[in-house]
């Protein structure tokens, strides 16, 4: 399928970025024009107005979205984010990436995503509950354990998932734990889910180092973003023998070339709300962390942080995208030309959706697994996915992102073709 990419290349629109990634891989795998066009757009876009009762007794209107990109391989799967900068294009892009992510790790889900334009930092718990329950009611027509299963994302939590589950269950008159994942353990959550994204990221970094003939012990790691994924990645990797030399959050960062005391840093973050001011290293910032002298760079914050401007200054030999869409397409090309291995988001942060799938299976079966079994299953899934993507990358002489997309897009295209069109 011939695409005019000139406008896309000049844009930083995240939806156009996601489409461009598909376009580039479509030509590699010989994707026919009809299937290409089908995969280039979402199956369903739901925009809802959400009135929520506020603490002052009045109500306020919010806008929410749920996008289902492709469900040829199974129910939709994807998080819900509460953030003031949520846009429809962002949610569409994230839904598309979820399609490829689920296909790459070969779990029977399609891609979906949701979001509400709000600032949870300035809302009380009661206001958040009111907003969550009303938003759930508005999107309940398209979600469900056999239809579309939400999960936590930016600024949403296990408690918010509990409210979604309860609201959906009350509408049906009985408990339906499988409608969401990332729930508290007490109501059907899974062991290992909280650390799954970070653990999966570590597993694929392990594999990447092995392909380069390098050892884990002492490999230097810089992490931009010290929320759930970044904090757990730092903790797990330090325990494994990596040397975490720099981290940052939205307020700033801290670095120590000899290695940071991660337990102390986590305690400092818990006490102060930021890594800034930690006495075990020198102050730095988000920009410097991306360019820090290290072996592995883990962007674990938001989208579009590695650009054509800073890509030439990235000194890591491996970039593991724990965040969604942190690398711009032009930056991707620069890093590949420089020999930097980028482990794409659909691989590097797929641990979360993989263990979400395990949670969904456990809920449906009412049979829960031990954490050791979950972690071992996760390792097998991520290790196999890395090797399949790496094989395609070598075969076509392309980046790991394109190699991963070759695997994922081919699987979704095959399922779509086999199912055909109805009516």
- How confident is the chain (423 residues) per 10-residue block, as mean pLDDT? 37 84 93 96 98 97 98 98 96 96 98 98 97 98 98 94 98 98 97 96 98 94 94 97 96 95 96 94 94 97 90 97 91 96 97 98 97 98 98 96 97 97 92
The confidence score (pLDDT) of residue 324 equals: 86
304 is catalytic: no
Q: Number of folded domains in the chain?
A: 2
**Same domain (yes/no): 166, 200:** no
Residue 11 has a pLDDT of 53
Distance CA 413, CA 410 (A): 5
What 8-state DSSP symbol labels residue 178? G
Q: Are 159 and 204 in a shared domain?
A: no
Whether 237 and 151 map to the same domain: the answer is no
Q: Looking at the structure, tell me whether residues 155 and 242 fall in a common domain.
A: no
Quick check: is 102 in a domain?
yes
The arrangement of strands across the sheet holding 148-152 comes to 44-53, 59-70, 110-117, 76-83, 148-152
Antiparallel, parallel or unpaired: β 282-284 and 148-152: unpaired
Residue 104's pLDDT is 98
Per-residue pLDDT, 411: 98
pLDDT of residue 5: 34
- Cβ-contact 221, 232 below 8 angstroms: no
Supply the CATH number for residue 78's domain: 3.40.50.10860
Asked if 298 and 224 touch (Cβ cutoff 8 Å), the reply is yes
Q: Where are the alpha helices (DSSP H) in 1-124?
A: 6-9, 14-29, 33-39, 88-104
Question: Global pTM?
Answer: 0.93
What per-residue confidence (pLDDT) applies to 329?
87
Please report the pLDDT score of residue 179 as a whole number.
Answer: 98
Beta bridge partners of 296: 221, 318
Best CA proximity match to 342, nearest among 399, 407, 406, 408? 399
Domain assignment of residue 96, yes or no? yes
Domain check: are 232 and 338 in the same one?
yes
The verdict on residue 132 lying in a domain is yes
Which one of 300, 316, 343 terminates a domain? 343
Range of the structural domain that residue 142 is part of: 43-174
Residue 308 lies inside a defined structural domain of this protein: yes
Confidence at residue 86, expressed as pLDDT on a 0 to 100 scale: 96
CATH number of the domain at 225, please: 3.40.50.720
pLDDT the model gives residue 265: 97
The answer to whether position 264 is within a domain reads yes
Query: Using CA atoms in the order 240, 357, 359, 152, what is the torsion angle rounded to 10 degrees?
Result: 80
Q: Check residue 8 and give its pLDDT.
A: 36
139 and 266 inside one domain: no
Instruction: Tell which residue, 81, 76, 65, has the closest CA to residue 101.
Output: 76
| Residue 306 per-residue DSSP state | B
- SS percent in the chain: helix, strand, coil, step 5: 50, 20, 35
- 135 with 218, same domain: the answer is no
- Choosing from 113, 183, 269, 402, the catalytic residue is 113
Question: Which of 317, 343, 369 is where one domain is finished?
Answer: 343
- Is there a contact between 60 and 52 (Cβ–Cβ < 8 Å)? yes
What is d(CA 383, CA 347) in angstroms, rounded to the nearest whole number?
A: 10
Domain boundary among 174, 207, 242: 174
Supply the pLDDT for residue 290. 96
Instruction: State the Cα–Cα distance between residues 182 and 355, nearest whole angstrom.
Output: 9
């Amino acid at each position: 399928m011939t695409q005019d990419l000139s406008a896309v290349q000049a844009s930083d629109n995240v939806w156009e970025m996601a489409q461009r990634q598909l376009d580039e891989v479509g030509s590699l795998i010989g994707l026919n024009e009809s299937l290409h066009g089908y995969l280039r757009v979402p199956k369903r876009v739901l925009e809802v107005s959400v009135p929520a009762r506020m603490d002052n007794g009045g109500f306020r209107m919010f806008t929410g979205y749920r996008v289902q990109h492709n469900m040829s391989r199974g129910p939709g799967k994807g998080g819900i984010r509460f953030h003031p900068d949520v846009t429809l294009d962002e949610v569409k892009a994230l839904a598309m990436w979820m399609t490829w992510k689920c296909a790459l790790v070969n779990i029977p889900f399609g891609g979906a995503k949701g979001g509400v334009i709000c600032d949870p930092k300035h809302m009380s718990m009661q206001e958040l509950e009111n907003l969550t329950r009303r938003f759930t009611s508005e999107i309940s027509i398209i979600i469900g354990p056999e239809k579309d299963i939400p999960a936590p994302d930016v600024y949403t939590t296990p408690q918010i998932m509990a409210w979604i589950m309860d609201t959906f269950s009350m509408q049906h008159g009985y408990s339906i734990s499988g409608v969401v994942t990332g729930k508290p353990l007490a109501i059907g959550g899974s062991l290992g889910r909280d650390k799954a994204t970070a653990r999966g990221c570590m597993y694929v970094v392990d594999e990447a180092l092995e392909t380069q003939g390098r050892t884990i012990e002492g490999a230097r790691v810089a992490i931009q973003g010290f929320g759930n994924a970044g904090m757990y990645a730092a903790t797990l990797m330090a325990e494994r023998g990596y040397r975490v030399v720099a981290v940052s959050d939205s307020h700033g960062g801290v670095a120590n070339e000899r290695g940071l005391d991660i337990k102390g840093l986590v305690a400092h973050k818990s006490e102060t709300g930021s890594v800034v001011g930690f006495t075990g290293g020198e102050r730095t910032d988000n920009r410097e962390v991306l360019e820090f002298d290290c072996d592995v760079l883990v962007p674990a914050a938001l989208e579009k942080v590695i650009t054509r401007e800073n890509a030439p200054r990235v000194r890591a030999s491996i970039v593991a995208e724990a965040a969604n869409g942190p690398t711009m397409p032009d930056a991707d090309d620069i890093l590949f030309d420089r020999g930097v291995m980028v482990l794409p988001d659909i691989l590097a942060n797929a641990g979360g959706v993989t263990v979400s799938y395990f949670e969904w299976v456990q809920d449906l079966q009412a049979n829960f697994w031990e954490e050791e079994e979950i972690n071992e299953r996760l390792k097998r899934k991520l290790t196999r996915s890395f090797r399949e993507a790496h094989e395609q990358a070598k075969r076509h002489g392309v980046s790991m992102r394109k190699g991963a997309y070759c695997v994922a897009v081919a699987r979704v295209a095959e399922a779509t073709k086999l199912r055909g069109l109805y009516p």
